[in-house]
Structure 1
Amino acid sequence: MAIVKDNLLLQAVEGTLGNQFTIYRRNGQIIIAKKRGPSKKKPTQKQLEARYKMLVAAAYAKAIIQDPEIKAYYKSLAGPGQNAYNMAVKDAYRAPEIQNIRLEDMDVVVTAKDEFRVADVQVRVIDDAGVILERGSAMLGRNGVDWYYKAAVLPPGGRVIVVAVDLPGNERVEELLIT
């Protein structure tokens, strides 16, 4: 790959030359690279999964940047050489992370992070027989990381199941046994 600077001949040229080179622009720079052809090997299962994940992420990014407010949010997070579309694809590619679930009296406190933003945290309280006793949304705390859910009952031997969701809808599920 080569980056071309101040060349009048290549200022108006883009595309493939002689089935050998590809000339394209990225961030105002002209780049010349060897033309790549399709692979002759059959893709592995992991490659197929990665392609599908990227296809879903790209579809999300294309749809979501139609909303000017969300597009502005992603654009504000973009670094040099990046745009709102790149950030939306990156966000769609990763699920949020639940770092900690703890019980404080009758509060369920969930520490959830995402590189961009955790949109919602759902909490379910289940007894030892597997019956859902209650469910609801947690409220975001002042620190922007901890989510709080006020439980009516926390039965010993039961479980608390937490689902963290980010803007693209990626989910992470964790559970805590109540002792």
Structure 2
Amino acid sequence: MAIVKDNILLQFVRGTLGKQLTIYERNGQIIMATKRGPSRKKPTQKQLEARERMTIASARAQRMMADPEVKAYYASLAGPGQNAYNMAVKDAYRSPEIQSIRLEKDEVVVTAKNEFRVAEVEVKVVDADGVVTESGRAVLGWNGVDWHYKATALPAGGKVIVEAENLPGRYTVKELLLT
């Protein structure tokens, strides 16, 4: 790979020359590199899984780019050499993380993080027989990380099921057993 500086001949040339050389621009710099071809090795299972995840993330990102507000949000997070679509793919590739579920009196407090932002947190209260007694959306607290849900009753022997979702629709589920 070579970075071309102040060369009038290659200033407006982009693309592949023959089957040997590729010229492209990245972050305002002209780069010359040998042409890469497809790998001749059979992909591993892990590579196939990563490709599948990337395909799904790309499809979610394309759907999100149709919304001008979401597109503007991701564009505001893009750095040099990146765009809104790149940020949307990055967000769609990973699920949010539920770090903790705490009970404070009759309130369920969920600490959920995502590299970009958690869109919503849903809380379900299940009794000892497995019946959902109540459910609803938690409200984001002032610190931007804790989500609060006011429960009417937390039955002993039951559990609290929390689902955190990010903008692209990826979600994480975590449970807390009630004693």
TM-score normalized by the length of structure 2: 0.95
Q: Which residue of 2 aligns with 1:174?
A: 174
Residue 138 of structure 1: how far off its partner (Å) = 0.5
Amino acid at match of 2:66: Q
SS class of match (2:9): helix
CA separation of 1:66/1:28 partners in 2, compared to 1, >3 Å: closer, same or farther? farther
Secondary structure in 2 aligned to 1:60?
A: helix
* Structure 1: distance between partners of 2:156 and 2:104: 14
* Deviation of the 1:134 alpha carbon: 1.1
Consecutive unaligned residues of structure 2, counting only runs of 5 or more, are: none
Q: Distance in 2 between matches of 1:50 and 1:76?
A: 27
CA distance in 2, matches of 1:117, 1:163: 14
Distance apart, 1:16 and its partner CA: 1.3
What is the aligned partner in structure 1 of residue 65 from structure 2?
Answer: 65
The share of aligned pairs that are identical, in percent, is: 70
CA distance, structure 1, for counterparts of residue 12 and residue 60 of structure 2 = 32
Tell me which residue corresponds to 2:116: 116
- Range that drifts further, 160-169 or 67-76: 67-76
The one-character-per-residue Cα deviations of 1:24-67 (angstroms, maximum 9, x if unpaired) are 12222211122111111111111111111111222222232232
Q: Which amino acid aligns with 2:134?
A: E
1: CA distance, partners of 2:55 / 2:7: 36
Q: Which residue is 2:145 aligned to?
A: 145
Letter in 2 for 1:150: K
Which has the larger displacement, 66-75 or 44-53? 66-75
**Counterpart for residue 41 of structure 1:** 41
* Aligned-partner residue type, residue 146 of structure 1: D
Letter in 1 for 2:80: P
- Asked whether 1:125 is paired with 2:125, we answer yes
Q: AA paired with 2:169?
A: G
- After superposing on structure 2, the runs of 4+ consecutive aligned residues of structure 1 that deviate more than 6 Å are none
* Runs of at least 5 residues in structure 1 that lack an aligned partner in the other structure: none
The more displaced of 27-36 and 96-105 is 27-36
